Protein backbone atom coordinates (compact mmCIF):
# COMPACT_ATOMS: atom_id res chain seq x y z
CA UNK A 1 0.00 0.00 0.00
CA UNK A 2 1.39 3.43 -0.84
CA UNK A 3 1.28 6.45 1.40
CA UNK A 4 -1.67 8.08 -0.34
CA UNK A 5 -3.78 4.90 -0.11
CA UNK A 6 -3.04 4.70 3.60
CA UNK A 7 -4.11 8.29 4.13
CA UNK A 8 -7.25 7.74 2.03
CA UNK A 9 -8.21 4.64 4.06
CA UNK A 10 -7.59 6.54 7.27
CA UNK A 11 -9.68 9.53 6.26
CA UNK A 12 -12.54 7.30 5.07
CA UNK A 13 -12.65 5.57 8.48
CA UNK A 14 -12.21 8.81 10.40
CA UNK A 15 -15.19 10.33 8.59
CA UNK A 16 -17.43 7.49 9.87
CA UNK A 17 -16.58 8.15 13.51
CA UNK A 18 -18.34 10.80 15.56
CA UNK A 19 -16.17 13.30 17.45
CA UNK A 20 -16.84 11.86 20.90
CA UNK A 21 -15.42 8.46 19.83
CA UNK A 22 -11.65 7.93 19.78
CA UNK A 23 -10.15 6.13 16.80
CA UNK A 24 -7.42 3.75 17.90
CA UNK A 25 -5.34 2.83 14.84
CA UNK A 26 -4.24 -0.79 15.36
CA UNK A 27 -0.75 -0.89 13.89
CA UNK A 28 0.40 -4.37 14.97
CA UNK A 29 2.68 -6.04 12.38
CA UNK A 30 2.82 -2.77 10.42
CA UNK A 31 5.99 -0.70 9.98
CA UNK A 32 6.80 2.47 11.93
CA UNK A 33 6.83 4.36 8.66
CA UNK A 34 3.04 3.90 8.33
CA UNK A 35 2.51 5.13 11.90
CA UNK A 36 4.59 8.20 11.13
CA UNK A 37 2.49 8.92 8.04
CA UNK A 38 -0.75 8.80 10.03
CA UNK A 39 0.71 10.88 12.85
CA UNK A 40 1.48 13.45 10.17
CA UNK A 41 -2.23 13.75 9.32
CA UNK A 42 -3.24 14.04 12.96
CA UNK A 43 -3.72 10.47 14.25
CA UNK A 44 -2.50 10.29 17.86
CA UNK A 45 -3.63 6.92 19.27
CA UNK A 46 -2.04 3.63 18.20
CA UNK A 47 -2.75 0.06 19.33
CA UNK A 48 -0.23 -2.77 19.51
CA UNK A 49 -0.49 -6.46 20.50
CA UNK A 50 3.08 -7.76 20.67
CA UNK A 51 5.21 -6.40 23.48
CA UNK A 52 8.69 -6.51 21.90
CA UNK A 53 7.50 -5.21 18.53
CA UNK A 54 5.61 -2.42 20.27
CA UNK A 55 8.51 -1.31 22.46
CA UNK A 56 10.79 -1.13 19.43
CA UNK A 57 8.28 1.12 17.65
CA UNK A 58 7.60 3.26 20.71
CA UNK A 59 11.33 3.93 21.09
CA UNK A 60 11.82 4.56 17.40
CA UNK A 61 8.92 7.03 17.30
CA UNK A 62 9.71 8.78 20.59
CA UNK A 63 10.08 12.18 18.96
CA UNK A 64 7.15 11.89 16.56
CA UNK A 65 4.11 14.01 17.38
CA UNK A 66 0.51 14.24 16.21
CA UNK A 67 -1.05 17.70 16.45
CA UNK A 68 2.02 18.81 18.39
CA UNK A 69 1.70 16.16 21.12
CA UNK A 70 3.47 12.85 21.72
CA UNK A 71 1.78 9.71 20.39
CA UNK A 72 -0.50 7.75 22.75
CA UNK A 73 0.23 4.02 22.91
CA UNK A 74 -2.38 1.40 23.80
CA UNK A 75 -1.59 -2.23 24.54
CA UNK A 76 -4.51 -4.34 23.31
CA UNK A 77 -2.94 -7.83 23.24
CA UNK A 78 -3.12 -10.72 25.68
CA UNK A 79 -1.39 -9.84 28.96
CA UNK A 80 1.18 -12.30 30.28
CA UNK A 81 2.03 -11.93 33.92
CA UNK A 82 5.77 -11.70 33.23
CA UNK A 83 5.27 -8.83 30.76
CA UNK A 84 3.50 -6.37 33.06
CA UNK A 85 6.67 -4.40 33.80
CA UNK A 86 7.27 -3.76 30.10
CA UNK A 87 3.67 -2.61 29.74
CA UNK A 88 3.79 -0.37 32.82
CA UNK A 89 6.99 1.28 31.62
CA UNK A 90 6.11 1.93 27.98
CA UNK A 91 2.37 2.30 27.42
CA UNK A 92 -0.23 4.98 28.18
CA UNK A 93 -3.14 2.52 28.16
CA UNK A 94 -3.53 -1.19 28.79
CA UNK A 95 -6.82 -2.69 27.59
CA UNK A 96 -7.53 -6.29 28.47
CA UNK A 97 -6.84 -6.48 32.20
CA UNK A 98 -8.89 -9.41 33.46
CA UNK A 99 -7.46 -10.34 36.88
CA UNK A 100 -6.67 -8.39 40.01
CA UNK A 101 -3.08 -9.63 40.10
CA UNK A 102 -2.38 -8.09 36.69
CA UNK A 103 -3.76 -4.71 37.80
CA UNK A 104 -1.75 -4.90 41.04
CA UNK A 105 1.45 -5.63 39.17
CA UNK A 106 0.85 -2.79 36.69
CA UNK A 107 0.15 -0.50 39.64
CA UNK A 108 3.39 -1.44 41.43
CA UNK A 109 5.49 -1.34 38.29
CA UNK A 110 4.25 1.97 36.87
CA UNK A 111 7.20 4.38 37.09
CA UNK A 112 6.46 7.27 39.47
CA UNK A 113 7.68 9.89 36.98
CA UNK A 114 5.00 8.93 34.44
CA UNK A 115 1.31 9.87 34.51
CA UNK A 116 -1.00 7.19 35.89
CA UNK A 117 -1.56 4.22 33.59
CA UNK A 118 -5.04 4.04 32.02
CA UNK A 119 -6.58 0.60 32.03
CA UNK A 120 -9.73 -1.18 30.89
CA UNK A 121 -11.11 -4.43 32.23
CA UNK A 122 -11.72 -7.05 29.55
CA UNK A 123 -14.90 -9.10 29.85
CA UNK A 124 -15.31 -12.45 28.11
CA UNK A 125 -18.73 -11.27 27.07
CA UNK A 126 -19.69 -14.27 24.91
CA UNK A 127 -18.14 -16.80 27.31
CA UNK A 128 -15.75 -18.25 24.73
CA UNK A 129 -13.07 -20.76 25.79
CA UNK A 130 -10.51 -19.17 23.48
CA UNK A 131 -10.86 -15.61 24.77
CA UNK A 132 -9.37 -13.83 27.74
CA UNK A 133 -11.52 -11.67 29.97
CA UNK A 134 -13.28 -11.92 33.28
CA UNK A 135 -16.79 -13.30 33.67
CA UNK A 136 -19.55 -10.70 34.02
CA UNK A 137 -20.19 -11.90 37.61
CA UNK A 138 -16.60 -11.08 38.57
CA UNK A 139 -16.77 -7.51 37.34
CA UNK A 140 -18.12 -5.68 40.39
CA UNK A 141 -15.43 -7.02 42.69
CA UNK A 142 -12.73 -6.10 40.17
CA UNK A 143 -14.09 -2.56 39.74
CA UNK A 144 -14.15 -2.03 43.51
CA UNK A 145 -10.59 -3.20 44.02
CA UNK A 146 -8.85 -1.97 40.87
CA UNK A 147 -10.35 1.52 41.09
CA UNK A 148 -8.56 2.02 44.42
CA UNK A 149 -5.05 1.41 43.07
CA UNK A 150 -2.99 4.61 43.16
CA UNK A 151 -0.93 4.51 39.99
CA UNK A 152 -3.61 3.46 37.58
CA UNK A 153 -6.86 4.99 36.38
CA UNK A 154 -9.60 2.47 35.74
CA UNK A 155 -11.32 3.91 32.67
CA UNK A 156 -13.86 1.26 31.65
CA UNK A 157 -14.43 -1.98 29.77
CA UNK A 158 -13.00 -3.72 26.72
CA UNK A 159 -14.47 -6.61 24.73
CA UNK A 160 -13.70 -8.75 21.71
CA UNK A 161 -17.08 -10.28 20.80
CA UNK A 162 -17.65 -13.69 19.25
CA UNK A 163 -17.99 -13.75 15.46
CA UNK A 164 -21.72 -13.46 15.14
CA UNK A 165 -22.55 -12.13 18.56
CA UNK A 166 -25.67 -9.98 18.42
CA UNK A 167 -25.83 -8.99 22.05
CA UNK A 168 -22.23 -8.33 23.10
CA UNK A 169 -22.17 -4.57 22.64
CA UNK A 170 -25.49 -3.89 24.35
CA UNK A 171 -24.71 -6.27 27.23
CA UNK A 172 -21.36 -4.57 27.76
CA UNK A 173 -22.95 -1.13 27.82
CA UNK A 174 -25.39 -2.37 30.48
CA UNK A 175 -22.56 -3.77 32.60
CA UNK A 176 -20.69 -0.51 32.19
CA UNK A 177 -23.66 1.55 33.42
CA UNK A 178 -24.42 -0.83 36.28
CA UNK A 179 -20.89 -0.86 37.64
CA UNK A 180 -20.19 2.86 37.76
CA UNK A 181 -21.52 2.95 41.35
CA UNK A 182 -18.76 0.57 42.49
CA UNK A 183 -15.89 2.71 41.17
CA UNK A 184 -13.91 4.64 43.79
CA UNK A 185 -13.72 7.63 41.40
CA UNK A 186 -16.80 7.35 39.18
CA UNK A 187 -15.81 10.37 37.07
CA UNK A 188 -12.92 8.28 35.69
CA UNK A 189 -15.30 5.59 34.40
CA UNK A 190 -15.74 6.89 30.84
CA UNK A 191 -14.54 4.28 28.34
CA UNK A 192 -16.06 1.46 26.32
CA UNK A 193 -13.37 -0.05 24.09
CA UNK A 194 -15.33 -2.01 21.51
CA UNK A 195 -15.69 -2.20 17.75
CA UNK A 196 -13.12 -3.20 15.11
CA UNK A 197 -12.94 -2.96 11.30
CA UNK A 198 -15.92 -5.26 10.75
CA UNK A 199 -18.34 -4.04 13.41
CA UNK A 200 -17.39 -0.45 14.15
CA UNK A 201 -20.80 1.05 13.34
CA UNK A 202 -22.77 -1.33 15.58
CA UNK A 203 -20.35 -0.75 18.43
CA UNK A 204 -20.69 3.01 18.13
CA UNK A 205 -24.49 2.73 18.06
CA UNK A 206 -24.31 0.76 21.32
CA UNK A 207 -22.15 3.39 23.06
CA UNK A 208 -18.53 2.62 22.22
CA UNK A 209 -16.06 5.42 23.03
CA UNK A 210 -12.92 3.81 21.54
CA UNK A 211 -12.97 1.80 18.32
CA UNK A 212 -9.89 -0.30 17.52
CA UNK A 213 -9.39 -0.38 13.75
CA UNK A 214 -6.56 -2.19 11.99
CA UNK A 215 -7.33 -3.84 8.67
CA UNK A 216 -9.64 -1.12 7.34
CA UNK A 217 -6.82 1.42 7.70
CA UNK A 218 -3.57 -0.52 7.17
CA UNK A 219 -4.78 -3.38 4.97
CA UNK A 220 -4.60 -7.11 5.75
CA UNK A 221 -1.88 -8.28 8.11
CA UNK A 222 0.87 -10.67 7.03
CA UNK A 223 1.99 -12.89 9.89
CA UNK A 224 4.47 -14.97 7.90
C1 LIG B 1 -5.98 -6.84 15.85
C2 LIG B 1 -6.99 -6.29 16.80
C3 LIG B 1 -7.90 -5.28 16.40
C4 LIG B 1 -8.01 -4.76 14.98
O5 LIG B 1 -8.76 -5.68 14.22
P6 LIG B 1 -9.16 -5.34 12.69
O7 LIG B 1 -10.19 -6.35 12.40
O8 LIG B 1 -7.92 -5.51 11.89
O9 LIG B 1 -9.69 -3.96 12.67
C10 LIG B 1 -8.75 -4.78 17.36
N11 LIG B 1 -8.74 -5.22 18.63
C12 LIG B 1 -7.88 -6.17 19.05
C13 LIG B 1 -7.90 -6.61 20.47
C14 LIG B 1 -7.00 -6.74 18.15
O15 LIG B 1 -6.18 -7.72 18.56
Distance separating alpha carbons of residues 77 and 53, to the nearest angstrom? 12
Q: Does the beta carbon of 214 lie inside 6 Å of ligand 1?
A: yes
Cα 113 to middle of ligand 1, angstroms: 31
Residue 70 pairs in a beta bridge with 65
Q: Give the other-Cβ count within 10 Å of 184's Cβ.
A: 14
Minimal-distance CA residue to ligand 1 atom 13: 76
Closest listed residue to residue 35, CA positions, set 222, 214, 224, 220: 214
pTM of this structure: 0.98
Confirm or reject: Cβ of 206 under 6 Å from ligand 1. no
Answer for the pair 44, 25: CB distance below 8 angstroms, yes or no.
Answer: no
Task: Say if residue 223's pLDDT is above 90.
Answer: no
Structural domains for the chain: 3-218 (3.20.20.10)
Contact between 131 and 165 (Cβ < 8 Å): no
Q: Are 43 and 66 in contact (CB under 8 A)?
A: yes
What are 5-30's pLDDT values in tens digits? 999 999 999 999 999 999 999 999 99
Amino acid sequence: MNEQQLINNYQAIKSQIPNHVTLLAVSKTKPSEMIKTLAGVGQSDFGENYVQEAIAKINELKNVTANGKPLIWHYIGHIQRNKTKDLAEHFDWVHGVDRLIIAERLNEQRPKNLPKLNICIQINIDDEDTKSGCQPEELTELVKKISQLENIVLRGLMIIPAKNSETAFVKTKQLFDKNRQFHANPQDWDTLSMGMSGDMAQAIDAGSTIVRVGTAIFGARDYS
